[in-house]
Amino acid sequence: MHGWITLNVVEMLQTKRKRSSARDESQAVNFRTRNAQVKREKMLARLLSATMKVCADPGRRGNAVIDDVVRAAGVSRGAFYWYFDTLDEAIETLGRRMADEISAETYNVFRSQPDQAIRAALAANPVLRAALGGQVMMCRASMDSVWARYLSNVHVLPDDSKFITRVRRNLEAGRSTGELHFESVKVAVDYQVGAVLAAVRRCSTESLQSSAPMEMNVLILRGLGVRSPTAEELATQAARIVDLVGPENFAWWRKSR
């Protein structure tokens, strides 16, 4: 009987050691997997940053090649081809990331707004949301010239990106409430995005007065059928909101200080 108990205890200990060993191996594999994933993401970010820098250069507009990106990133051609087949693929990937980032930043302004009344206004007013998106992009353009030059030079904001989808939905909401006036949603999206990109280019290439982004925002809203007094009021409110939450919520704002 005593021998059977001893044997049973030994088996239990062996099983416990096996489980512990398997768990340790699993944790080691997970660590290696996460570490490799972090390294891949860092390399991808490095390549995309170099793509932005190269394509934002006015002297290379339309003439950039893979070797330019490889030199700017300080990596081998093999590293580039591990992630992308062509420069156009890198540009498209960067465009999607930028579009998603713009969408996330605009949403972050809403989420970080401490004033409940303003949050309620943003939730209810598609015109104010449109003004807010434009204000965020123009503010960044005035502080981050490389980002602005790339965005305005390359024009890569995919139609199926989160940013364009939210612009489309907001325009449709504004039309349904009678606050925005247009016939074709597609034309309205092209107009709003195109006008904002033109404003981004202006902010990145000229030293403008601090009121210039708001003035451009007013004109964009008026082009969507908003009456002048309302456009001025909501563009002013959007500028105040961005000035309030931007310094603490946007990395590019903090870098520009």
In the chain, what are the domains? 2-83 (1.10.10.60), 93-255 (1.10.357.10)
Of residues 254 and 230, which shows the higher confidence score?
230
Looking at residue 173, its pLDDT comes to 96
Report how far residue 155's alpha carbon sits from residue 194's, in angstroms, rounded to the nearest whole number: 9
| Average pLDDT taken over every residue of the chain | 83
Q: Please state which of the ranges 119-123, 138-142, 165-169, 216-220 shows the lowest mean pLDDT.
A: 119-123
Of residues 211 and 218, which shows the higher confidence score?
218
Report how far residue 109's alpha carbon sits from residue 231's, in angstroms, rounded to the nearest whole number: 20
Residue listed under structure tokens 């008026």: 222
Q: What does each C-alpha distance from 216 to 68, 159, 188 come to in angstroms?
A: 35, 24, 17
Stretch 210-221: mean pLDDT, rounded?
Answer: 88
Whether 4 has a pLDDT exceeding 50, the answer reads no
Looking at residue 229, its pLDDT comes to 95
Span 152-207, pLDDT tens digits: 777 667 788 888 999 999 999 999 999 999 999 999 999 999 998 888 888 777 77
Q: Please state which of the ranges 37-51, 94-108, 125-139 shows the lowest mean pLDDT.
A: 94-108
What per-residue string of b and e applies to 105-140 under the rule 16 or more CB within 10 Å gives b?
bbeebbeebeeeebeebbeebbbbbbbbbbbbbbbb
Q: What is the pTM of this model?
A: 0.76
Span 26-84, pLDDT tens digits: 555 575 677 778 888 888 999 999 998 888 887 776 688 899 999 999 999 999 999 99
Query: Can you give the three-state secondary structure of the chain, one letter per residue?
Result: CHHHHHHHHHHHHHHHHHHHHHHHHHHHHHHHHHHHHHHHHHHHHHHHHHHHHHHHCHHHCCCCCHHHHHHHHCCCHHHHHHHCCCHHHHHHHHHHHHHHHHHHHHHHHHHCCCCHHHHHHHHHCHHHHHHHHHHHHHHHHHHCHHHHHHHHHHCCCCCCCHHHHHHHHHHHHHHHCCCCCCCCHHHHHHHHHHHHHHHHHHHHHCCCCCCHHHHHHHHHHHHCCCCHHHHHHHHHHHHHHHHHHHHHHCHHHHHCC
Count of C-beta atoms within a 10 Å radius of residue 11 = 10
Whether 124 has a pLDDT exceeding 80, the answer reads yes
Sign of the torsion angle spanned by Cα atoms 212, 248, 158, 55 = positive
Report how far residue 228's alpha carbon sits from residue 131's, in angstroms, rounded to the nearest whole number: 13
Residue type, 70: V
Looking at residue 82, its pLDDT comes to 92
Q: What does each C-alpha distance from 20 to 8, 16, 146 come to in angstroms?
A: 18, 6, 51
Residue listed under structure tokens 């709003």: 192
Count of C-beta atoms within a 10 Å radius of residue 65 = 10
